[in-house]
Amino acid sequence: MAWRALAKKALSTSYLSNCGAAITASHSLHSTLPDVLLCSRVDLLTASRNLRSCWGIRNYHASVSLLSWRGRKAEEAPGLKTLGREKQVKRVNKLRAPPVEARYVPPKLKQQAKLTQEKTVEIFEGMTLVELAKRTGSSVRVLQEILTSIGEKVGSEFDPITIDVAELVSMEVGVNVKKLHSEEGAILKPRPPVVTVMGHVDHGKTSLLDALRKTSVAAKEAGGITQHLGAFVVSMPSGASITFLDTPGHAAFTAMRARGAAVTDIVTLVVAADDGVMPQTLEAMSHAREANVPVVVAINKCDKPGADPEQVRIQLGSEGLSLEDLGGDVQVVEISALKGTGLDKLEEALLLQAELMDLKARVDGPAQAYVVEARVDRGRGPLVTAIVKSGTLNVGQYVVVGAEWGRIRAIRDMAGRTAELAGPAMPVEIEGMRGLPMAGDDITVVGSEERARMLSQGRRKKLERERLERMNQENVEASAEEGDEADDVPERVEVAVVVKGDVQGTVQAVADSLRSLNSPQVFVNIVHMGVGPISQSDVDKAQACNACIVGFNIRSPPSPISLSAKQANIKIFLHRVIYHLLEEMGKLIVEKAPGTAETQVTGEAEVLSIFELKSRKSKGPDVKIAGCRITDGRFTRTATMRLLRSGEVVFEGSCASLKREKQDVEAVGKGNECGLVIQDCQDFKVGDVIQCLEQVIRKPKFVSSESGAVRIEC
Ligand code: GDP
């Protein structure tokens, strides 16, 4: 392991913490209010309502165990065994008159979902108009006209333009952009690694982050008291530091990646020594692999009596992770998050990994940064925790963050100290945004307020257009799928939901989880999402959309708001555990679902004797009565009866009469004898079996798996 020794030596001199900015002022950070209307437009709601009638099957979150569960044969209906549907139809047709010529119904063609694949072009700082014209396919003259219309100075087509202007112009000509950040010619300096903690539920991700947070710079400054701000920095005695993203789990990682934010440098994979590799361990491994991010394994709970780190190593090895102990390059550290042991070794391993990756960033020039969390403070407005990837973010700069814009009023480090600037891999809190962006949004520094407004407006329009397109597309796909099952699937009903949470990341995660409860019968429509406590305006919105309100990790609304919700008949669900919330919402969805009509065998009887009743009318047919004993379930007067002989269906018809000792009855239970007449049936034989068939409404089921994934099974 010579390389390791060398790298360790090198470590002692590198990575001076970037968190050295001075100044005082510590503010208590009360998270609070305003609402962020993410899908508030009335026209969108109306459109969604219009489309609703033909929404259909969606994808569900399906874990390995769920998939295998789904594969299993559906439970048989309680009561007696039914015959296969094909068989019944075949036999019944045999006995009845041949079918009259049926009208030819052409098979329904699946509608092609229109995929609006917009062109994506790569843009970069300092590109010329000629280059942009080539990429977008528009003429230089058209681009110049756009520049004039957005108030930009139009020089020669060979003059360099800034990346935000290139984005604005590209949006105007209707193409998507991918920003390239070239560090060519820039002075690069080593930067600390940004680490995300992942692993199976209950393996100790949160405990590990809690333990690490206690050793963070912020905790040391604040006497051990810290709060969750999305990220924290741990400093080593050598002066090196590590930035940890403070949201455990895979949802945050994928949400960031979905927005193109490649913030994480290293994944710490937590595996419990007493539990070993589990489905979400594998999921984390594949996330890291897809994102091309190296893994450092932390075998946790090594303090437990049943801990078997060796077994975990073998399992990880057999899952394709080339561990250092087995000659590979993935480091493994044994820790106990609870006892705080092995944390220094883990930090060392992370720094070593970072050293091998030779992480460097440009320090000068405009910042390229990402949002890791956003929340609203009553006094300070929207607060954004951001990590700068390269360049420097300065107080006073105009920024566009996702579809929001603002002017940086203040920058604070994670210890709450104000700073004038923020450098690479340094998590900071930014004050001064006009609205609340989302985790994973990129932060673009722009030259003026005018440009910030314009870029944010352009992005908003684009987001809205994409949302509408997505809705249309889902609708087309759903109606195509529904088309095939139109006869079996009942109309889909809607459960409208207003989601409120403590921070933006939570709100997004809750909304995504609720959407995973979508089913062919119930469409979970998130009509509004927002950060902060439940307000009167939330109640108003819920009332307008006939929605319920879900509050996650927030306190109960004040009594006037609760009262107003009660008067408007709006249900409020407050939870702090996501599973409990999903369970309650699952129940509500099951309650609202129309269910599917199903024929069930509710009783079975044996024919003991046959009686014949002469018709009172001279020309009328005689009536055959089957004297039966109910051997299972019960028979009802309104049901359909099926006559079976030697296991084969010989007749099916409605019940014309059900009597017990000459008395008409509505139902007869197991063990009793009765006289039964089936409409138009003259063909009873002693020993025949009669089944009582009833239409029942089968409601969907709320299903949860061991891994915590839930869905509604129709
Ligand atoms: P997460 O779901 O992965 O975030 O797991 P948590 O951090 O919430 O931990 C799940 C449970 O394991 C909690 O009851 C923790 O107290 C416990 N736990 C976490 N780390 C350790 C450890 O190192 N040793 C022991 N004995 N228990 C631990």
Question: Is 353:193 a contact under the CB 8 Å cutoff?
Answer: yes
Category of 199 on φ-ψ map: left (φ > 0), alpha (ψ -120 to 50) or beta: left
d(CA 511, CA 525): 9
Q: Report the amino acid identity of residue 59.
A: N
Q: For residue 704, with 0-12 CB atoms within 10 Å meaning exposed, 13-18 middle and 19 or more buried, which class applies?
A: middle
How many other CB atoms are there within 10 angstroms of residue 583's CB atom? Answer: 14
d(CA 550, CA 552): 7
d(CA 703, CA 714): 10
pLDDT at 544: 83
d(CA 572, CA 534): 9
∠ CA(261), CA(266), CA(272), 5° rounding?
A: 120
Closest to 550 in 3D by CA, of 493, 594, 502 = 502
Residue nearest to atom 11 of ligand 1 (CA): 202
Q: CB-side exposure of 365: number of CA atoms within 13 Å?
A: 19
Supply 66's token pair: 């769920």
CA 301–ligand 1 middle distance (angstroms): 7
CA 207–ligand 1 middle distance (angstroms): 6
Q: Which residues pair with 551 in a beta bridge?
A: 500, 574
Question: Is 687:578 a contact under the CB 8 Å cutoff?
Answer: no
Q: Is 504 in the pocket of ligand 1 (CB under 6 A)?
A: no
Question: Is 454:150 a contact under the CB 8 Å cutoff?
Answer: yes
CA 300–ligand 1 middle distance (angstroms): 8
| Residue carrying the six token digits 């759903």 | 478
| Residue carrying the six token digits 């000068």 | 364
How distant is the alpha carbon of residue 104 from its chain centre?
43
pLDDT at 485: 52
Task: Give residue-wise pLDDT tens across range 222-280.
Answer: 555 556 678 888 887 777 889 998 776 666 666 666 665 678 899 999 999 999 998 88
- Among 26-40, 288-302, 348-362, 401-415, the minimum mean pLDDT is found in 26-40
Question: Is 295:281 a contact under the CB 8 Å cutoff?
Answer: no
Q: DSSP of 361-388, one letter per residue?
A: EE-SSB-EEEEEEEEEETTTEEEEEEEE
Mutate to test the pocket of ligand 1, among 200, 207, 300 (most ligand atoms within 8 A of CB): 207
CA 678–ligand 1 middle distance (angstroms): 65
Residue nearest to atom 24 of ligand 1 (CA): 301
Output 14 or 526, whichever has higher pLDDT.
526
SS3 318: helix
pLDDT at 38: 35
Question: Is 581:497 a contact under the CB 8 Å cutoff?
Answer: no
**What is the mean pLDDT of the segment spanning 280-284?**
86
Question: Is 688:604 a contact under the CB 8 Å cutoff?
Answer: no
Q: Is 338 in the pocket of ligand 1 (CB under 6 A)?
A: yes
Q: For residue 621, with 0-12 CB atoms within 10 Å meaning exposed, 13-18 middle and 19 or more buried, which class applies?
A: exposed
CA distances from 25 to 373, 410, 411, 416, 683 (A): 22, 11, 12, 7, 94
- For CA atoms 409, 415, 420, 426, the dihedral sign is negative
Q: For residue 124, with 0-12 CB atoms within 10 Å meaning exposed, 13-18 middle and 19 or more buried, which class applies?
A: middle
How does the average pLDDT of the chain come out, rounded?
77
Mutate to test the pocket of ligand 1, among 196, 202, 212 (most ligand atoms within 8 A of CB): 202
Task: Give residue-wise pLDDT tens across range 103-134.
Answer: 333 344 344 444 344 678 888 888 888 888 88
Question: Is 232:213 a contact under the CB 8 Å cutoff?
Answer: yes
Mutate to test the pocket of ligand 1, among 198, 338, 345 (most ligand atoms within 8 A of CB): 338
In total, the chain counts a number of residues equal to 714
Q: Is 513 in the pocket of ligand 1 (CB under 6 A)?
A: no
Q: What are phi and psi of 60, to 5 degrees?
A: -115, 160
Task: Give residue-wise pLDDT tens across range 290-338.
Answer: 888 999 999 999 999 989 999 999 999 998 898 988 888 999 999 999 9
Residue nearest to atom 20 of ligand 1 (CA): 204
Supply 504's token pair: 């933006």
d(CA 176, CA 119): 6
Q: Is 202 in the pocket of ligand 1 (CB under 6 A)?
A: yes
In terms of average pLDDT, the best of 168-182, 225-239, 627-641 is: 627-641
Q: Would the pTM of this model clear 0.75, i.e. be above it? A: no
Q: Is 336 in the pocket of ligand 1 (CB under 6 A)?
A: yes
**What band does 64 get if pLDDT is binned at 50, 70 and 90?**
very low
pLDDT at 407: 95
d(CA 542, CA 535): 11
| Residue carrying the six token digits 């920058």 | 411
**What is the mean pLDDT of the segment spanning 525-536?**
87
SS3 314: helix
Residue 708 has pLDDT above 70, yes or no: no
Q: Is 204 in the pocket of ligand 1 (CB under 6 A)?
A: yes
Closest to 598 in 3D by CA, of 693, 692, 695 = 695
- Among 30-44, 157-171, 261-275, 447-461, the minimum mean pLDDT is found in 30-44
Q: Is 274 in the pocket of ligand 1 (CB under 6 A)?
A: no
**What is the mean pLDDT of the segment spanning 650-664?**
91
- Among 187-201, 310-324, 454-468, 655-669, the minimum mean pLDDT is found in 454-468
Quick one: the chain helix, strand, coil %, rounded to 5?
Answer: 30, 30, 40
Closest to 49 in 3D by CA, of 525, 502, 392 = 525
Q: DSSP of 615-626, one letter per residue?
A: -SSSSSPPEEEE
Q: Which residues pair with 495 in a beta bridge?
A: 524
**What band does 374 get if pLDDT is binned at 50, 70 and 90?**
confident
Q: What's the 3-state SS for 497-549?
A: EEEEECCHHHHHHHHHHHHCCCCCCEEEEEEEEEECCCCHHHHHHHHHHCEEE
SS3 610: strand
| Residue carrying the six token digits 């063909």 | 683
**What band does 375 get if pLDDT is binned at 50, 70 and 90?**
confident
How many other CB atoms are there within 10 angstroms of residue 662's CB atom? Answer: 6
Question: By percentage, how much of the chain surpasses pLDDT 70?
Answer: 75
pLDDT at 163: 82
Tally: H helices and E strands in the chain? 18, 35
Q: DSSP of 153-177, one letter per residue?
A: ----TTSEE-HHHHHHHHHHTT-EE
| Residue carrying the six token digits 């129940």 | 587
Question: Is 274:212 a contact under the CB 8 Å cutoff?
Answer: no
- Angle, helices 163-172 vs 129-136, to 10°: value is 40
